[in-house]
Amino acid sequence: MQNLDGVVLVGARVLRSDGRLEPASIEIEDGRIARVVEGAEATAGRIRYDLAGRIVAPGMIDTHVHGRLGHHVMSATRGSVDVIGRALLAHGTTSFVAATATVEYGRLLGAVTGLAGLVGPVKAGAELLGIHLEGPFLSPVRRGVHPLEHLVAPTPERLDALLEAAGAALRICTLAPELDGASEAIKRLVAAGVRVAAGHTDASYARTAEAVAEGVTRATHLFNGMPPVHHRKPGPVPALLADPRVRVELVADGVHVAPELVGVLLRAPDLRGRVMFVSDGTDVAGLADGPHRRWEGTPVVIRGGAATTLAGAVAGGTGTVLDGVRLAVDQGVPVEVALAAGSHVPADSLGLTDRGRIAPGQWADLLVLTETLDIETTILHGVVRREES
């Protein structure tokens, strides 16, 4: 590890906070970005690192991570979170939100309590920003692999227990807007500072639009866990895309969503700044091809990096946010737009002001990339990190 305090990075094309990808110099001090200036200008007396021919981008922020390398966040242990955080950092993700799974409600509250105590820097890995509650407030007909017997309505009593268990660590709550009590739940969660996401939902266009008016500002893995768009029954997807207040997750791994559709969305000018890449990574992410058993006991098979159940259903993600960036660029999306979808947009979706952009005062969480978007160096809080995947 190498501390870059007092160093200036020069010569690279830098993803600026306004979305431009242009030559600039970055000065680092006390783990943060002290100054960003045009071209190769830099304060005299600083050590200069020439990064000509490279791209410098903010570290990727993954707002939907269940696990990796055989570990799942539902264990709520420091050891598992550290393994996940180190694995994510190796692939360019410098901070993440731990996504839970649907289990018996009392057990869920225990996991949430445990995770809340782990929020903060991960040992030598990506930083845990908080909790994304995915389940149990989901549609029975759009539940995916979430077990039916543990799905429940978002009653005031359950929300009280959840908010007490999670405290300020609860960043995102996914729910189906058509459930009984959803309107009141959305308002209660928003009042508590939680970002509410529509997901695993069978809601109509009209009900989804109402939910956005009530406070929904995110969509959980758009298209997945939702009815397909029909020209006479449009459903939730067009309602979520139509409203500029909503930012949408996209699992851009070529499996959850067709690559061509990723390109269409990211090339649409009105959607720039609203689409964010997530991994939806599970505990089998990063494991070798072949049969595996997920943390809750579901048999899955990984083929060509894609995980499916024995029946052939997609069983969570195995890629990373930076993989989504590369896929988008392959589909003709400008590099700066694709990189922003992994950094600026997720940061904005959580209201973060200390990361996600290359600007003075932000943490120096940076990726030094080749022109083909391979990682050359990862910098976390101003320190060069080299982690094994």
Known binding residue 338? Answer is no
Rounded to the nearest 10 degrees, what angle do helices 182-191 and 156-166 cross at? 30
- Dig out the tokens for 6 from the structure: 């007092």
Known binding residue 232? Answer is yes
Known binding residue 150? Answer is no
DSSP structure class, residue 227: P
* DSSP-assigned letters across all residues of 37-50: EETT---TTSEEEE
Catalytic residue among 62, 202, 253, 280: 280
Known binding residue 224? Answer is yes
Q: How far apart, in whole angstroms, are the C-alpha atoms of residue 357 and residue 282?
A: 27
Known binding residue 312? Answer is yes
Known binding residue 310? Answer is yes
* Residues 6 or more apart in contact with residue 271 via CB below 8 angstroms: 241, 265
* Residues 6 or more apart in contact with residue 241 via CB below 8 angstroms: 222, 248, 271
Known binding residue 145? Answer is yes
* Residues 6 or more apart in contact with residue 157 via CB below 8 angstroms: none
Q: How far apart, in whole angstroms, are the C-alpha atoms of residue 17 and residue 385?
A: 23
Q: Does 280 participate in catalysis according to the annotation?
A: yes
Q: Which amino acid is at 327?
A: L
Known binding residue 311? Answer is yes
Q: In a 10 Å sphere around its CB, with 0-12 CB exposed, 13-18 middle and 19+ buried, how is residue 270 labelled?
A: exposed
Given a contact cutoff of 8 angstroms between Cβ atoms, the answer to whether 376 and 366 are in contact is no
Known binding residue 3? Answer is no
Known binding residue 106? Answer is no
Annotated binding site for Zn(2+): 134, 200, 221
* Binding residue ranges for substrate: 145, 224-225, 232, 256, 310-312
Which residues fall in the annotated binding site? Answer: 134, 145, 200, 221, 224-225, 232, 256, 310-312
- Residues marked as catalytic: 280
